[in-house]
């Protein structure tokens, strides 16, 4: 954790012996041990609480599904297609949760779906407008090129007539 070597620990021990004194050193080590024990206990408790919360949220199921998918990918002949299929299925299973329509989560999911639809429509509309503008510019460029070609043809005819 702290990556302390033997020499560093020896220096810390000598400094503690000098500062604290030989009579109070066992008391200091006992209280440091209690503190470390309490810290480890709190870390274990926090870790178990986080694992329980993840289990309740269904993260373990998704992780198991992904692990099973990766295991099955190793045996399949087309891993890219299989991987994309597994990812699609997993994403669909995560998004197809049965939500109570009155819950805040369901309301937020509906709002997000509606916003996504609006964004897709706006993007499609802008893309079409851009394509229309590019087509119009191409038509104008073609008309200008045709006009230049006609002018060049007339200039060639006029120079041939003079010669």
DSSP at 125 = H
Comparing 55-59, 79-83, 129-133, the range with the smallest average pLDDT is: 79-83
Q: Which of 22, 39, 57 is the last residue of a domain?
A: 57
51 part of a folded domain: yes
Q: Is the pLDDT of residue 163 over 70?
A: no
65 part of a folded domain: no
Query: What is the arithmetic mean of pLDDT over 121-140?
Result: 93
112 part of a folded domain: yes
pLDDT at 148 (0 to 100): 92
pLDDT at 25 (0 to 100): 84
77 part of a folded domain: no
> Of 87 and 129, which is predicted with more confidence?
129
What is the SS3 assignment for 10-78? HHHHHHHHHHHCCCCHHHHHHHHHHHHHHHHHHHHHHHHHHHHHHHHHCHHHHHHHHHHHHHHHCCCCC
101 part of a folded domain: no
Q: Is the pLDDT of residue 36 over 80?
A: yes
pLDDT at 73 (0 to 100): 55
Q: What does the chain come to in residues?
A: 163
Which residue range(s) make up the domain with 159? 106-163
Structure tokens at 136: 């119009």
DSSP at 127 = H
Comparing 9-23, 25-39, 84-98, the range with the smallest average pLDDT is: 84-98
Whole-number percent of the chain with pLDDT over 90: 28
98 part of a folded domain: no
86-100 in b/e burial notation, b at 16+ Cβ within 10 A? beeeeeeeeeeeeee
The region that residue 22 occupies, defined by phi over 0 for left and psi between -120 and 50 for alpha, beta otherwise, is alpha
129 part of a folded domain: yes
DSSP at 103 = S
Give me the number of domains the chain comprises. Answer: 2
Q: Which of 31, 57, 83 is the last residue of a domain?
A: 57
> Of 80 and 157, which is predicted with more confidence?
157
154 part of a folded domain: yes
pTM for the model stands at 0.33
């Amino acid at each position: 954790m702290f990556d302390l070597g033997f020499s560093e620990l020896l220096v810390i021990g000598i400094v503690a012996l000098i500062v604290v004194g030989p009579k109070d050193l066992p008391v200091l080590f006992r209280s440091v041990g209690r503190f470390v024990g309490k810290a480890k206990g709190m870390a274990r408790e926090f870790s178990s609480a986080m694992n329980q919360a993840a289990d309740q949220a269904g993260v373990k199921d998704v992780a198991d599904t992904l692990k099973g998918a990766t295991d099955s990918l190793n045996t399949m002949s087309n891993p890219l297609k299989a991987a994309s299929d597994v990812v699609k299925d997993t994403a669909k299973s995560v998004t197809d949760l049965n939500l109570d329509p009155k819950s805040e989560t369901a309301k937020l999911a509906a709002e997000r779906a509606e916003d996504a639809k609006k964004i897709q429509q706006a993007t499609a509309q802008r893309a079409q407008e851009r394509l229309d503008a590019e087509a119009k510019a191409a038509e104008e460029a073609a008309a200008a090129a045709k006009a230049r070609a006609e002018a060049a043809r007339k200039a060639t005819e006029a120079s041939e007539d003079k010669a």
